[in-house]
Structure 1
Amino acid sequence: MRRALGQTGIMVSPIGLGGMPMSIVGRPDSAQSHGVIHAAIEGGMDFIDTADVYCMNHEDIGHNERLIAEALAAHPRGAEVVVATKGGLERPNGQWTRNGHPDHLQSACEASLQALGTECITLYQLHAPDPEVPFAESVGALQRLQEAGKIAHVGLSNVRVEQIQEAQSIVEVVSVQNRCNIIDRSAFSEGVVAYCEAQQIAFLPYCPVGGRGQKEALGSHPLLTEIASRFGASPQQVALAWLLQQSPVIIPIPGASKAANASSSAQAQALALGLGELIELNQAFPTEASDTGR
């Protein structure tokens, strides 16, 4: 039932927890957030994705990383959880901007090490390519961080197949994190998932149950609702189960700000859709790329 985190030799739960909702606008207090993380662990999750910019603004950088470190330290199985983080964005005045300069990635990684309370980050991902910086320079910075022992493995996010290939000429890429769900199948239509499967690279879908702009549509979709009723599940659980059955390299990372939602996502790990349901879903949703973005 467990899934490989690329070719690292690390096995993790089929579904991980996305930390973002616990640290941005509308975030819960720390006690509730700790409850979310603990509920995920109790539900069988042992993989958490975060980023230095999951916060309110520049002064709040590292909020989610610190929160996760605190929650894991307070749980008896916290040390067993694999934490992946990202660098390459900034939050000036609460905005989201890209910064893939090597100097920034170096300092961002150092700050993440401190926030997470570790000497080596298991998986460090380039959050997004920076159009103002040659992609190879950003990836090269991660390669040097790996050589220095500050990060164990390198991942990418918000990338195309040709960018993955370019990065692979510089460093081993063990994971790719792009937006992907049953409504937005651009990662499939653009060949990213197929390439990851062929290369044994873990594919980590963010917004796997819709995210902004699609969450409501997914949760109220008649077919998802009807199929969910057959299994005594929720539409969101069906959407997660559908993703899991598309490829063995897929590890969805749904976010949560409530313990009940984390528990519900964890339960989807045991939901197996039949061939009939998979055919129904594939016929009901478009497969072409949709213009969503992060």
Structure 2
Amino acid sequence: MSITHLGKTDLKISRVGLGSMPLAINGRPTREDAIKVIHRTLDLGITLIDTADAYCADENDKNYCEKLICQALQTYQGSANINDIVVATKGGLVRPGGAWETDLSPSRLRQAIRQSYDSLGGQKPIPLWQLHDSPQDEKYTLKEIFEPICEAVQANLIQYVGVSNFNLEQIKEAQTYVPIHAVQNVFSLFKRGAETDGVLKYCEDNQLTFLAYSPMGGRRKHKKLNKDKFLTNLASKYNCSTYCIVLAWILSKSKCIVPIPGASQITSIEDSVKALNIHLTQEDIQSINDHTFT
């Protein structure tokens, strides 16, 4: 398994992580099957599992995925060292009636961090806690938003901090309040804004880990990859799936990138790991860069 470090820290993580959202939202597998997916993930050598308190059906189901991961780790009997597993969670979204809404009120975040800490076992600091979204209005300043986060770091509830869906200026401001070690933004063949908005370059220059979420384009886009003749031809050339081609391309973009493809089936995470052994030629990388995906 290819290993890198989380930002400038000594914390080691695999170059590909598991995005756990499909294990917890509507259409999710049974709890038993979901745990099997996590156990297989660990067997494959993946040491990074990304989750969130909002990965659930609705507010009545809050912290479902965190508790699921905790149970999976507690019941794991394979060869991986559980102490090496890095669970990265997020807070800042709420799920009223199953919807997705941003709530960054300091009191709400303070409660969310404590609940995530408890849901993940309450025995050690959360390895990486990330603010799930950037402010959608001017109700709270970033300084106010980060007050409970800084408190949680000082209280040893959180080990390291990251941000998600932040632009460059917001990342820079966040770093004035607490060290930021990871940025989790969307990056796929369909959405490549991080290459042009300065975020990816900033992460490279400042040794921040860029966690690429929705690397296949999400639920609405990923099926299109298997219908793209250009991609299917490349997949045939490298004797792999189109998804492996996409992950290999993302990995080629920067050493700071760690894609976190979602998986609700064992075969999906098994396929994702294969991308680490695919080395695209520069010509193929350029061809993918130039190809239009819609």
Which has the higher mean CA deviation after the structures are superposed, 16-25 or 114-123?
114-123
Match of 2:110 in 1: 106
Match of 1:20 in 2: 21
Match of 1:68 in 2: 69
Report the secondary structure of 1:26's partner residue. Answer: coil
Report the secondary structure of 1:256's partner residue. Answer: coil
Match of 1:29 in 2: 30
Whether the aligned pair in 2 keeps the contact of 1:40 and 1:266 (CA below 8 Å) is no
Whether the aligned pair in 2 keeps the contact of 1:49 and 1:84 (CA below 8 Å) is yes
In the TM superposition, residue 213 of structure 1 has moved relative to its aligned partner by 2.5
The residue correspondences of 1:107-256 to structure 2 (distance < 5 A) are 107-118=111-122, 119-130=124-135, 131=137, 132-256=139-263
Report the secondary structure of 1:241's partner residue. Answer: helix
**1:68-120 Cα deviation digits (max 9, x unpaired):** 11111122333321100001111111111111111111110111111110331
Report the secondary structure of 1:204's partner residue. Answer: strand
Report the secondary structure of 1:24's partner residue. Answer: coil
Whether the aligned pair in 2 keeps the contact of 1:175 and 1:202 (CA below 8 Å) is yes
Report percent identity of matched pairs. Answer: 37
The residue correspondences of 1:264-279 to structure 2 (distance < 5 A) are 264-279=271-286
**1:269-289 Cα deviation digits (max 9, x unpaired):** 221111121111111137xxx
In the alignment, the residues of structure 2 paired with residue 213 and residue 91 of structure 1 have an alpha-carbon distance, to the nearest angstrom, of: 20
In the TM superposition, residue 218 of structure 1 has moved relative to its aligned partner by 2.2
Whether the aligned pair in 2 keeps the contact of 1:177 and 1:203 (CA below 8 Å) is yes
Whether the aligned pair in 2 keeps the contact of 1:43 and 1:267 (CA below 8 Å) is no
Match of 2:8 in 1: 7
- Structure 2: give runs of 5+ residues left out of the alignment: none
Whether the aligned pair in 2 keeps the contact of 1:12 and 1:46 (CA below 8 Å) is yes
**1:114-158 Cα deviation digits (max 9, x unpaired):** 111033101000000232321221123211211111100000000
In the alignment, the residues of structure 1 paired with residue 224 and residue 116 of structure 2 have an alpha-carbon distance, to the nearest angstrom, of: 35
Whether the aligned pair in 2 keeps the contact of 1:102 and 1:137 (CA below 8 Å) is yes
- Structure 1: give runs of 5+ residues left out of the alignment: none
Whether the aligned pair in 2 keeps the contact of 1:121 and 1:152 (CA below 8 Å) is yes
**1:163-207 Cα deviation digits (max 9, x unpaired):** 000001111000000111122101112111111111100000100
In the TM superposition, residue 255 of structure 1 has moved relative to its aligned partner by 0.5
In the TM superposition, residue 22 of structure 1 has moved relative to its aligned partner by 0.5
TM-score, with length taken from structure 1: 0.94
In the alignment, the residues of structure 2 paired with residue 68 and residue 219 of structure 1 have an alpha-carbon distance, to the nearest angstrom, of: 30
Report the secondary structure of 2:118's partner residue. Answer: helix
Report the secondary structure of 2:286's partner residue. Answer: helix
TM-score, with length taken from structure 2: 0.94
In the TM superposition, residue 37 of structure 1 has moved relative to its aligned partner by 0.8
Whether the aligned pair in 2 keeps the contact of 1:18 and 1:255 (CA below 8 Å) is yes
RMSD, aligned α-carbons: 1.3
